[in-house]
Structure 1
């Protein structure tokens, strides 16, 4: 049995890219960027008015003085400053012509007419250079790196890519994932279980988790603890990039998964790690297919997905390593064993944000993760965490 740290190390060092593909920007939400994206020009590409108002040279401004004006400049248009022209009316987003270096907002302007001439009086005592102007290149210079490889494409990222004119982007393709739940006691969720049976929640837990990375399972199935049937199902499951099994990896007589995997030529990288829940986890590979054998209890599955599969996928997608957050615990917590323990917590905010443990009845408790914000880590070497002591935390 290896430590939690060693298990993470063994899993993440196996992570690899599943290739690169080009997709339409309109289909890219939630995908992971596989190319560096640089600015194609300066942003803003010109000195841009940040307000509706009047463009003026700060050197020409005189307080309590009326200025004549004639021309207006709207976004999407340009004009050249005339020699005697001191003021033009300008709209938000319009390029500020050379010769002007400030924009006075319309709220600070009083319009009038004198002898048929349009005049404006400003209520300000002074004007500074580049007032209310977004300077060319202040957001980004041409060829600046804007999005690195491994960026998750969400609302802001897609908006940026559209601003850069990226109609297509290179992303990492989703791996082909097969999901196999095992156990004589497991029945489909649409079936009324007998008193000694449970419904197959794990398949839904795993497939829902994969949506985080826009991964749609290639195949989902269930197999009873019958050796020949299980061998065939696992053999089919190995025809993909990742096979995720639940159940059948512990030490019981019907826990057939490890022996069948070995028989089928799957290399065991490790089996069992010093954590709770999730101790029986199995990890290995055959050629280019990776296998995760998860325990069967619902909360064990949720925990193992978050602490093991998540880091593995982040490596595969060239994403940065996730850092555990740290918050104080709201109450004393003890343990008697020497395992690394993960337990559900929720945010508890009064005077400051803390983590409050959620009571549950072990890894088989179907409601263990309900109303929690994530899982906290109780280090193996500690036997007690005091009130307000800092503890590492992973949000779901």
Structure 2
């Protein structure tokens, strides 16, 4: 049995980065940018008015001054000419600033009479101009790799790109195993249970940026397991669910070794998730997830997510958003394995309080569904009292 950290290091050493391909920007949401992008122009490409009003020279911006209106410009149109002293151009939000003008007086601060505009006694201090390049200058670089959020998609478009290079999505086979499993929606026999893990794993994988491929339930026998593993070898990553422990009916390691599995590790000092295994088979990564629902989901979140991130060019970082919160319930001294405690994080009177859930059994799906955070505890960590500060990281943030 190896530590959680060592297991993750061994697993990440097996990972190869995916290839790149080009996609139109309307299809780039949540993808990983593969190449740096260089802005082809400044944004905005010209100095523009930020309000409706009148463009003029700042030396004429004095209470009581009367200026002759010599034209008008709206967004997408320009004033043809050069603004002179004691002149003004009616201007609208987003319109290019006329040549010769260096400020805008908003329409609320003027009085218009025929073709003249009089500046009121009380006026705004601001010049209401968005200077050329105030957002970004020509040559600005959007660095890769980065996940393309909605604002990133807008930025890419503003930089004048209509298609970009992204990393291909890793394909992941999900192979549930077990004589006791039946599909959801099936009439449940007295000795069977619903195969629920696959659907949570698939949802997680989608949120990580992967393409899950859900295989049918596989019986607990060597030929069936071997057949499904070979069938899944066209995927980048193979996840088996169940059969990863050392019981008589836990046949993943035995079956896979007979067809060439090179085991990297089997069993880690993690709770839940001790039976986790990983290795290489048919030149692809195989990860054997435990069969208990919470064990499989947490192992996927904590161990498979970094694998997907590295495939997507994000490197081998395992950093997650972590915060510190005051403990709402006492925690006893931890045992010999790292423990990832399901918890509920709340904001109470402006402070974060985290409440470990009472039921931590690895078979209880409702417990994980009710949790919104994990409290990571190192092996042999001392007891923690109510009110003490503990490290917390949000859970399900990617797909809640």
Q: Same fold (TM over 0.5)?
A: yes
1:327 aligned partner: 324
2:111 aligned partner: 110
Instruction: Give the conservation status (yes or no) of the 8 Å contact 2:75–2:94.
Output: yes
Corresponding residue to 1:192 among 187, 193, 196: 187
2:94 aligned partner: 93
Distance 2:97 2:150 in 1: 30
- Equivalences for 1:30-109 in 2 at 5 Å? 30-79=30-79, 80-109=81-110
Distance 1:363 1:8 in 2: 21
CA 120–70 in structure 1, closer or farther in 2 if over 3 Å, else same: farther
* Cα-to-partner distance string for 1:76-129 (whole Å, 9 max, x where unaligned): 11123233453211110011123222112222222223xxx322323435756x
Distance 2:360 2:42 in 1: 58
SS of equivalent to 2:205: helix
CA deviation after TM superposition for structure 1 residue 219, in Å: 4.6
Distance 2:380 2:140 in 1: 46
Q: Please, what TM-score do these two structures have when normalized by structure 1?
A: 0.92
- Residue 271 in 1 paired to residue 266 in 2? yes
Distance 1:262 1:123 in 2: 87
Distance 2:119 2:225 in 1: 85
1:258 aligned partner: 253
Moved more, 258-267 or 42-51: 258-267
Instruction: Give the conservation status (yes or no) of the 8 Å contact 1:30–1:213.
Output: no
Q: CA RMSD in A?
A: 1.9
Distance 2:13 2:229 in 1: 24
Corresponding residue to 1:303 among 294, 298, 317: 298
Distance 1:138 1:48 in 2: 10
CA 109–353 in structure 1, closer or farther in 2 if over 3 Å, else same: farther
Corresponding residue to 2:338 among 320, 325, 340: 340
Instruction: Give the conservation status (yes or no) of the 8 Å contact 1:61–1:126.
Output: no
Moved more, 37-46 or 52-61: 52-61
Distance 1:63 1:372 in 2: 62
Instruction: Give the conservation status (yes or no) of the 8 Å contact 1:3–1:274.
Output: yes
Structure 1 residue ranges (4+ consecutive) displaced by more than 4 angstroms after TM superposition: 125-128
Stretches of structure 2 that go unaligned for 5 or more consecutive residues are none
1:316 aligned partner: 311
CA deviation after TM superposition for structure 1 residue 10, in Å: 1.8
Stretches of structure 1 that go unaligned for 5 or more consecutive residues are none
CA deviation after TM superposition for structure 1 residue 394, in Å: 3.8
How many pairs were matched up? Answer: 390
1:137 aligned partner: 133
CA deviation after TM superposition for structure 1 residue 380, in Å: 1.6
1:353 aligned partner: 352
Distance 1:96 1:226 in 2: 76
Moved more, 189-198 or 210-219: 210-219
Instruction: Give the conservation status (yes or no) of the 8 Å contact 2:210–2:308.
Output: no
* Cα-to-partner distance string for 1:195-252 (whole Å, 9 max, x where unaligned): 3321111111111111114433235121111122222122222332110001001111
Q: Please, what TM-score do these two structures have when normalized by structure 2?
A: 0.92
Instruction: Give the conservation status (yes or no) of the 8 Å contact 1:102–1:127.
Output: no
1:363 aligned partner: 362
Distance 2:171 2:254 in 1: 24
- Equivalences for 1:94-243 in 2 at 5 Å? 94-113=95-114, 117-124=115-122, 127=125, 131-146=127-142, 148-243=143-238
CA 381–59 in structure 1, closer or farther in 2 if over 3 Å, else same: farther
SS of equivalent to 1:71: strand
